[in-house]
């Protein structure tokens, strides 16, 4: 990587801590990703993206800002990238998946807050994330109580925090709330960018994001093959890069990779031997660089064949209907698309477990590992009924609760190995 110190300094990054972060990240990436066997050639693009994650991509964003484009960061898949693109903005997912700056975060938040929220504070307080520091606007959303209340404390720490309200029920009123919130978000984007959203600009935004999601749907489908043509770790990485790469280049790279994977399937080539135990991971999102659980699973004689998560199918599986002829009609289509997202903050939320069952069937999975972050009430509480429903359908399920630390790695491995034994006997 070139020397980006000047750029990082201009963004207010703490250079010493940031260098330590990059060194740790580089080592973890080598140990976890580059050590895998039989990786597809197409992963080279994603290796490059990761090697330049705080370098070249940030330079592109800084250059975009210099051209007058606005950078909009967000922490949730309910914030529509289509709308940001429609004002020629740059949309960046900011979710943080590392145990960094937690001491500073815990000075502002209760200790029993989920790692995702603590990490969001830790990266900001430690001046560690050039994405956060590049944002003109950061969008928060009233999803879980943790995030909702944390944004109140986060507001004075950032330049411009815009909080979007979200419904909690899949009712007609809920849909109206979502549409009105998207309408207000459009007004905010137009004010920030000085650009008016038109039918053409919105349609273009929808087309770009639809193409990106279509590529991810193609990637998800190819993982039904046995032997698995790609590891769960690599597929997760692509789902993580989804949130911060240039969308058109990303789509092209995923499609090229899928060409290769489809050929692998024809040639019966895979990353694990045919017959390896297959699992779906379902639950909380795994933000980059949270690779702990998949690494343990895939070094315990199992392969992950799908992620039912916002960094996974819950974030990518629906497309937006492009048929509308007015901004209002397209806004309706966007609202319909996002209203499908079955996050555990919704009550009740039956479509989520139905989707997990569909994934098990489609991807020929042997079982499900339910992943909750400690102190995440929506997913932990929902995991009980999800497990019950899956077991009732004869789908073995293992419920795990963990955080970003490595302390429980040994214990998790023991439980996962025991679960895999159960799956083998099925």
Q: Binding residues for ligand SF4, per CB under 6 A?
A: 76-78, 114, 116-117, 143-144, 146-147, 284-285, 310, 341, 343, 345, 373, 376, 378-379
Nearer to ligand SF4, 243 or 272 (CB): 243
- The answer to whether 94 touches 104, Cβ cutoff 8 Å, is no
Cβ proximity to ligand SF4: between 42 and 378 the closer is 378
Least distance to ligand SF4 from the beta carbon of 78, Å? 5
Bridge partner list, 25 = none
Nearer to ligand SF4, 144 or 302 (CB): 144
How many Cβ atoms sit within 10 Å of the Cβ of residue 176?
12
Q: Contact at 8 Å (CB) between 203 and 243? A: no
Q: CB-side exposure of 123: number of CA atoms within 13 Å?
A: 21
Hey, is 302 helix, strand or coil? strand
CB of 183 to ligand SF4, least distance (A): 20
Q: In which residue are the tokens 């740790």 written?
A: 24
> Taken in order 163, 344, 382, 123, is the CA torsion positive or negative?
negative
Tell me the CB-side half-sphere exposure of residue 97, using CA atoms within 13 A: 18
In the complex, the smallest distance separating the C-beta of residue 232 from ligand SF4, rounded to whole angstroms, is 19
Q: How far is the CB of 287 from ligand SF4 (least distance, A)?
A: 9
Token pair 């046995």 is found at 226
User: Which residue number, 77 or 135, has a Cβ lying nearer to ligand SF4?
Assistant: 77
CB of 158: closest distance to ligand SF4 in angstroms?
A: 17
- What order do you get walking across the sheet with 137-142 strand by strand? 90-93, 71-74, 137-142, 161-165
HSE, side-chain direction, 13 A CA sphere, residue 386: 32
Closest to ligand SF4 by CB, 144 vs 224, is: 144
Distance in Å, CB of 380 to ligand SF4, minimum? 8
Burial of residue 63, with CB atoms counted within 10 A of its CB: 0-12 exposed, 13-18 middle, 19 or more buried: exposed
Q: Shortest CA distance to 154 belongs to which of 79, 96, 91? A: 96
User: Considering beta carbons, is residue 226 or 403 the nearer one to ligand SF4?
Assistant: 403
Q: How far is the CB of 338 from ligand SF4 (least distance, A)?
A: 9
**Would you say 135 or 257 has its CB closer to ligand SF4?**
135
């Amino acid at each position: 990587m070139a020397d980006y110190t000047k750029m990082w300094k201009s963004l207010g990054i703490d250079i010493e801590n940031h260098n330590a972060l990059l060194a740790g990240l580089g080592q973890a990436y080598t140990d976890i990703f580059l050590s895998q066997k039989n990786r597809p050639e197409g992963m080279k693009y994603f290796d490059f993206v990761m090697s330049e994650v705080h370098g070249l991509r940030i330079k592109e964003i800084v250059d975009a800002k210099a051209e007058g484009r606005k950078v909009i960061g967000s922490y949730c898949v309910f914030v529509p990238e289509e709308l940001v693109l429609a004002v020629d903005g740059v949309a960046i997912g900011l979710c943080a998946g590392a145990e960094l700056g937690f001491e500073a975060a815990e000075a502002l938040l209760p200790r029993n807050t989920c790692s995702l929220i603590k990490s969001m504070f830790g990266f900001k307080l430690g001046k560690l994330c050039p994405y956060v520091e590049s944002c003109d606007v950061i969008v928060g959303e009233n999803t879980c109580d943790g995030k909702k209340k944390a944004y109140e404390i986060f507001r004075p720490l950032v330049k411009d925090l815009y909080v979007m309200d979200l419904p909690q029920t899949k009712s007609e009123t809920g849909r109206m709330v979502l549409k009105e919130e998207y309408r207000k978000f459009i007004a905010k984007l137009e004010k920030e960018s000085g650009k008016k959203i038109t039918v053409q600009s919105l349609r273009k935004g929808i087309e770009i994001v639809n193409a990106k999601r279509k590529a991810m749907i193609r990637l998800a489908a190819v993982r039904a093959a046995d032997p698995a043509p790609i590891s769960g770790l690599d597929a997760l990485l692509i789902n993580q890069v989804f949130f911060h790469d240039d969308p058109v280049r990303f789509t092209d790279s995923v499609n090229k990779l899928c060409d290769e994977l489809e050929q692998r399937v024809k040639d019966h080539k895979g990353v694990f031997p045919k017959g390896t135990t297959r699992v779906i991971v379902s639950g909380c999102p795994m933000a980059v660089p949270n690779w702990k659980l998949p690494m343990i699973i895939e070094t315990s004689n199992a392969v992950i064949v799908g992620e039912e998560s916002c960094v996974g199918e819950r974030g990518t599986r629906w497309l937006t209907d492009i048929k509308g002829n007015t901004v209002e009609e397209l806004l309706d289509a966007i609202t319909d698309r996002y209203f499908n997202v079955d996050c555990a903050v919704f009550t009740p939320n039956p479509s989520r477990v139905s989707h997990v069952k569909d994934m098990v069937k489609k991807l020929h999975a042997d079982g499900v590992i339910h992943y909750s972050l400690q102190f995440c009430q929506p997913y932990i509480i929902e995991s009980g009924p999800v497990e019950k429903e899956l077991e009732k359908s004869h789908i073995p399920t293992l419920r795990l609760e963990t955080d970003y630390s490595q302390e429980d790695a040994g214990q998790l491995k023991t439980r996962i190995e025991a679960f895999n034994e159960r799956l083998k006997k099925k």
